[in-house]
Amino acid sequence: MITVVDYGMGNLRSVVKAVEKYAPDVQVSSDPASVKNSKALIMPGDGAFGAAMTNLTERGWIEPLKEFIGNGGHFLGICLGYQLLFSSSEEFGEHQGLGIIPGKVVRFNLPADMKVPHMGWNSVEFKKESKFMAGIPSGSHFYFIHTYYPVPEDRSWIIGEADYGGEFACIVGKGNLLAAQFHPEKSHNAGLKIIENFVRDVCA
Protein backbone atom coordinates (compact mmCIF):
# COMPACT_ATOMS: atom_id res chain seq x y z
CA MET A 1 0.00 0.00 0.00
CA ILE A 2 1.21 3.47 -0.95
CA THR A 3 -0.13 6.08 1.46
CA VAL A 4 -0.61 9.74 0.61
CA VAL A 5 -0.34 11.60 3.91
CA ASP A 6 -3.29 13.91 4.64
CA TYR A 7 -2.22 16.46 7.25
CA GLY A 8 -4.67 19.16 6.21
CA MET A 9 -2.42 21.05 3.80
CA GLY A 10 -3.49 21.26 0.18
CA ASN A 11 -5.43 19.30 -2.40
CA LEU A 12 -4.20 15.71 -2.57
CA ARG A 13 -6.34 14.52 -5.46
CA SER A 14 -3.96 15.38 -8.31
CA VAL A 15 -1.16 13.45 -6.59
CA VAL A 16 -3.40 10.44 -6.00
CA LYS A 17 -4.54 10.41 -9.64
CA ALA A 18 -0.94 10.50 -10.86
CA VAL A 19 0.15 7.66 -8.55
CA GLU A 20 -2.87 5.56 -9.52
CA LYS A 21 -1.54 5.42 -13.09
CA TYR A 22 1.24 3.13 -11.86
CA ALA A 23 0.11 1.63 -8.53
CA PRO A 24 -2.98 -0.48 -7.83
CA ASP A 25 -3.04 0.19 -4.10
CA VAL A 26 -3.11 3.86 -3.12
CA GLN A 27 -4.83 5.37 -0.11
CA VAL A 28 -5.17 8.82 1.43
CA SER A 29 -4.82 8.68 5.19
CA SER A 30 -5.05 11.17 8.04
CA ASP A 31 -4.28 8.38 10.56
CA PRO A 32 -0.60 8.02 11.57
CA ALA A 33 -1.25 4.35 12.40
CA SER A 34 -1.56 3.71 8.64
CA VAL A 35 2.23 4.03 8.41
CA LYS A 36 2.56 0.49 9.80
CA ASN A 37 0.77 -0.98 6.77
CA SER A 38 2.43 1.25 4.15
CA LYS A 39 5.17 0.30 1.73
CA ALA A 40 5.67 3.96 0.85
CA LEU A 41 4.60 7.40 2.02
CA ILE A 42 3.98 10.41 -0.18
CA MET A 43 3.69 13.80 1.52
CA PRO A 44 2.52 16.64 -0.74
CA GLY A 45 1.28 19.97 0.58
CA ASP A 46 0.60 23.62 -0.07
CA GLY A 47 0.61 26.39 2.50
CA ALA A 48 2.75 27.71 5.31
CA PHE A 49 5.59 25.76 6.95
CA GLY A 50 4.67 26.66 10.55
CA ALA A 51 1.01 25.70 10.13
CA ALA A 52 2.05 22.41 8.53
CA MET A 53 4.34 21.52 11.43
CA THR A 54 1.55 22.38 13.87
CA ASN A 55 -0.82 20.05 12.01
CA LEU A 56 1.72 17.22 11.87
CA THR A 57 2.40 17.58 15.59
CA GLU A 58 -1.22 17.82 16.71
CA ARG A 59 -2.26 14.87 14.53
CA GLY A 60 0.55 12.63 15.76
CA TRP A 61 2.53 12.30 12.53
CA ILE A 62 5.98 13.47 13.63
CA GLU A 63 7.41 10.33 15.20
CA PRO A 64 5.82 7.85 12.74
CA LEU A 65 7.26 9.85 9.82
CA LYS A 66 10.71 10.05 11.36
CA GLU A 67 10.72 6.35 12.22
CA PHE A 68 9.51 5.32 8.75
CA ILE A 69 12.17 7.39 6.99
CA GLY A 70 14.86 6.39 9.50
CA ASN A 71 14.14 2.73 8.82
CA GLY A 72 14.71 3.22 5.09
CA GLY A 73 11.10 3.35 3.97
CA HIS A 74 10.22 4.76 0.57
CA PHE A 75 9.26 8.41 0.98
CA LEU A 76 8.36 11.08 -1.58
CA GLY A 77 8.00 14.71 -0.47
CA ILE A 78 6.43 17.26 -2.81
CA CYS A 79 6.53 21.08 -2.52
CA LEU A 80 5.76 21.85 1.15
CA GLY A 81 6.28 18.15 1.85
CA TYR A 82 9.83 18.65 0.57
CA GLN A 83 10.53 21.72 2.69
CA LEU A 84 9.28 20.09 5.91
CA LEU A 85 12.12 17.55 5.76
CA PHE A 86 14.63 20.27 6.63
CA SER A 87 15.77 21.54 10.03
CA SER A 88 13.98 24.89 10.01
CA SER A 89 12.22 27.59 8.01
CA GLU A 90 12.17 31.38 8.14
CA GLU A 91 8.65 31.58 6.71
CA PHE A 92 6.60 33.95 8.93
CA GLY A 93 9.10 33.59 11.78
CA GLU A 94 11.43 30.78 12.82
CA HIS A 95 9.95 27.28 12.77
CA GLN A 96 11.50 23.88 13.40
CA GLY A 97 11.06 21.20 10.74
CA LEU A 98 11.33 17.42 10.80
CA GLY A 99 15.13 17.65 10.80
CA ILE A 100 15.64 14.73 8.40
CA ILE A 101 17.92 16.84 6.19
CA PRO A 102 20.20 19.49 7.74
CA GLY A 103 19.45 22.89 6.26
CA LYS A 104 17.13 25.89 6.33
CA VAL A 105 14.19 27.00 4.19
CA VAL A 106 14.67 30.61 3.07
CA ARG A 107 12.78 33.19 1.00
CA PHE A 108 13.79 34.22 -2.50
CA ASN A 109 15.72 37.50 -2.38
CA LEU A 110 15.59 38.66 -5.97
CA PRO A 111 15.88 41.84 -8.08
CA ALA A 112 12.68 43.85 -8.39
CA ASP A 113 12.12 42.70 -11.98
CA MET A 114 11.89 39.03 -10.95
CA LYS A 115 8.53 37.89 -9.68
CA VAL A 116 8.02 36.09 -6.37
CA PRO A 117 6.56 33.53 -6.02
CA HIS A 118 8.58 31.62 -8.58
CA MET A 119 5.77 30.21 -10.69
CA GLY A 120 5.81 28.25 -13.92
CA TRP A 121 8.11 25.96 -15.86
CA ASN A 122 11.82 25.79 -15.11
CA SER A 123 14.58 23.50 -16.32
CA VAL A 124 16.36 21.30 -13.77
CA GLU A 125 19.97 20.19 -14.07
CA PHE A 126 20.84 16.89 -12.42
CA LYS A 127 23.90 16.94 -10.16
CA LYS A 128 24.15 13.22 -9.44
CA GLU A 129 22.61 9.98 -10.59
CA SER A 130 19.42 8.74 -8.96
CA LYS A 131 17.31 5.66 -9.59
CA PHE A 132 14.28 7.93 -9.46
CA MET A 133 15.52 10.06 -12.38
CA ALA A 134 16.05 7.12 -14.74
CA GLY A 135 14.92 7.90 -18.27
CA ILE A 136 14.64 11.66 -17.65
CA PRO A 137 17.18 13.91 -19.38
CA SER A 138 18.99 16.54 -17.35
CA GLY A 139 17.60 19.92 -18.33
CA SER A 140 14.00 18.68 -18.37
CA HIS A 141 11.34 21.19 -17.36
CA PHE A 142 9.11 20.92 -14.29
CA TYR A 143 6.30 23.04 -12.85
CA PHE A 144 7.08 25.23 -9.82
CA ILE A 145 5.06 27.49 -7.55
CA HIS A 146 6.85 28.63 -4.38
CA THR A 147 8.20 31.62 -2.47
CA TYR A 148 10.63 29.72 -0.22
CA TYR A 149 13.23 27.05 -0.95
CA PRO A 150 15.56 24.89 1.18
CA VAL A 151 19.32 25.30 1.39
CA PRO A 152 20.87 21.92 2.31
CA GLU A 153 23.96 22.10 4.52
CA ASP A 154 25.27 18.90 2.93
CA ARG A 155 25.36 19.10 -0.87
CA SER A 156 25.55 15.31 -1.15
CA TRP A 157 21.76 15.36 -0.73
CA ILE A 158 21.26 17.37 -3.93
CA ILE A 159 20.02 15.50 -7.00
CA GLY A 160 18.89 18.48 -9.06
CA GLU A 161 19.10 22.26 -9.14
CA ALA A 162 17.06 24.93 -10.90
CA ASP A 163 18.11 28.50 -11.63
CA TYR A 164 15.84 31.39 -10.71
CA GLY A 165 17.96 34.41 -9.86
CA GLY A 166 20.60 31.87 -8.80
CA GLU A 167 20.78 28.11 -8.44
CA PHE A 168 18.81 26.38 -5.72
CA ALA A 169 18.31 22.73 -4.75
CA CYS A 170 14.98 21.48 -6.08
CA ILE A 171 15.45 17.70 -5.89
CA VAL A 172 17.11 15.93 -2.98
CA GLY A 173 17.44 12.32 -2.02
CA LYS A 174 19.36 9.46 -0.51
CA GLY A 175 18.47 5.78 -0.39
CA ASN A 176 14.70 5.44 -0.69
CA LEU A 177 13.98 9.09 0.14
CA LEU A 178 13.17 11.51 -2.67
CA ALA A 179 11.78 15.03 -2.43
CA ALA A 180 11.17 17.82 -4.92
CA GLN A 181 10.22 21.50 -4.74
CA PHE A 182 8.28 21.32 -8.01
CA HIS A 183 5.06 19.40 -8.59
CA PRO A 184 5.83 16.19 -10.51
CA GLU A 185 2.11 15.43 -10.77
CA LYS A 186 1.68 18.69 -12.75
CA SER A 187 4.88 18.37 -14.79
CA HIS A 188 3.66 16.30 -17.73
CA ASN A 189 5.83 13.44 -18.97
CA ALA A 190 9.00 14.22 -17.02
CA GLY A 191 7.15 14.60 -13.75
CA LEU A 192 5.04 11.50 -14.27
CA LYS A 193 8.20 9.56 -15.05
CA ILE A 194 9.53 10.45 -11.58
CA ILE A 195 6.33 9.11 -10.03
CA GLU A 196 6.50 5.99 -12.20
CA ASN A 197 10.13 5.37 -11.18
CA PHE A 198 9.26 5.84 -7.52
CA VAL A 199 6.30 3.46 -7.66
CA ARG A 200 8.22 0.81 -9.56
CA ASP A 201 11.02 0.94 -7.02
CA VAL A 202 8.50 0.57 -4.20
CA CYS A 203 6.90 -2.43 -5.88
CA ALA A 204 10.14 -4.10 -7.00
Q: Which of 95, 146, 185, 196 is catalytic?
A: 185
Cis amide linkage into residue 117, ω under 30° from 0: yes
Gap between the Cα atoms of 104 and 149, Å rounded: 8
Q: Which of 74, 79, 170, 196 is catalytic?
A: 79
Q: Is 170 a catalytic residue?
A: no
Q: Is 183 a catalytic residue?
A: yes
Q: Starting from the edge strand earliest in sequence, which strands make up the sheet with 101-107, in order?
A: 95-96, 86-89, 101-107, 148-152
CB 13 within 8 A of CB 50: no
123 - beta bridge partners? 141
Give the count of alpha carbons within 13 A of 46, CB side only: 11
Neighbours of 193 (CB within 10 A): 18
| Beta strand pairing call for 167-174 and 158-163 | antiparallel
Q: What DSSP element (H or E) covers 119?
A: strand 118-126
Q: Is 203 a catalytic residue?
A: no
Largest CA distance in the chain: 49
CB-based burial, 170-185: b 16+ in 10 Å, e otherwise = bbbbeebbbbbbbbbb
Active site residues: 79, 183, 185
